[in-house]
Amino acid sequence: MQGDTTTTFAGALAAFYHRIPVAHVEAGLRTENIYSPWPEEVNRRLVTHIADLHFAPTARARDNLLREGVGRDRILVTGNTGIDALLWVSALADDRPGLRSRFEAILPAHFSGKRLILMTGHRRESFDGGLERISRAMVRIALRPDVAIVFPAHRNPNVRRAIEPLHGRENILLVEPVNYPELVFLLKRCHFVVTDSGGIQEEAPSFGKPVLITRDTTERPEAMELGLARLVATDEHRLFHEMSALLDDPDAYSRMSRAANPYGDGHASNRIADRLISEAAD
């Protein structure tokens, strides 16, 4: 099972009912707040109690599992399989100029020469006004002539309503959800990222892109500890201030834009496969 979605928990529970062993990929992520993110924090904790093997992406995730009583012999630190996919797709796009040209066509001509901010937002805990506050900050920063924003908008109606302030703005492009190669292109093309996505928190550091995390908590603190990401919650003024600093202060940007990724080296899948083969042989 992969990750912390409700389908992951349901799949693990179904496997338990049928006495099928469960291996949990991306195991051990924790915020220590069962309501943030909701319901993912509880989903992954429940899967931990069912899983036979725990493939932790980082040493911190392994330590979380050890504190919860999981046996060390059942844990393997692998990195995250998402980074495997990211690096593979990135290399594929680099080798195919036709793909790059197709992706470039996503962006309007008047975005040329502007510093691109990639924005995503979809978390349920931001439906009580958080997304509206984030949107107001994005509208303010988009008034700058040197900035353009791309937001692949989640199809959840709550998201669509909350981002109404973004509509009709010259420097803001709202698009339907993009496919993964297009997302990788936008990550590589952007100046920095504003997101509440766990996956993007992991992916952006591979390309040296600073991340402003629009959440109250994160289960991925490693990038923050390295100075590559910053938790800004959904405060309109703080988000605007942090974005302005990354645009106006070269030193602040340089400190957050080192290409370093604590979440994987592109070989997580191989490590997982090797362990599963070893388990099957025993």
Q: Which long-range contacts (CB under 8 A, 24 or more apart) does 230-235 make?
A: 230/256, 233/130, 234/126, 234/129, 234/130, 234/131, 234/133, 234/134, 235/133
**What are the extents of the domains in the chain?**
6-79+266-281, 83-256
pLDDT for the residue 260:
80
Residue 67 · residue 100 · CB < 8 Å = no
Q: Which two tokens stand for residue 247?
A: 């645009």
Annotated catalytic residue, options 24, 44, 62, 122? 122
272/251 Cα distance (integer angstroms): 39
Q: Tell me, yes or no, if the two domains 6-79+266-281 and 83-256 fold the same way.
A: yes
Q: Which CATH architecture has domain 6-79+266-281?
A: 3-Layer(aba) Sandwich (3.40)
Residue 126 · residue 159 · CB < 8 Å = no
Short-list 253, 197, 191, 189, CA closest to 220: 197
Strand ranges of the sheet holding 53-56, from the earlier edge strand across to the other edge? 23-25, 53-56, 75-77
pLDDT for the residue 122:
81
Annotated catalytic residue, options 24, 40, 60, 215? 40
pLDDT for the residue 128:
80
Q: For the domain 83-256, what is the CATH code?
A: 3.40.50.2000
Helix-helix angle 40-50:6-17, to 10 degrees: 20
Annotated catalytic residue, options 26, 182, 203, 219? 26
pTM: 0.90
Residue 3 · residue 37 · CB < 8 Å = no
Active site residue 122: yes
Q: Which two tokens stand for residue 155?
A: 């199809």
Active site residue 248: no
pLDDT tens for the chain, 282 residues: list them: 899 999 999 999 999 999 999 999 999 999 999 998 999 999 999 999 999 999 999 999 999 999 999 999 999 999 999 999 999 999 988 888 777 778 888 899 999 999 999 999 887 776 687 899 999 999 999 999 999 999 998 888 888 888 888 999 999 999 999 999 999 999 999 999 999 999 999 999 999 999 999 999 999 999 999 999 999 999 999 999 999 999 999 999 999 998 788 999 999 999 999 999 999 887
Annotated catalytic residue, options 30, 54, 62, 154? 154
Active site residue 40: yes
Active site residue 167: no
Annotated catalytic residue, options 124, 169, 238, 275? 124
Residue 221 · residue 262 · CB < 8 Å = no
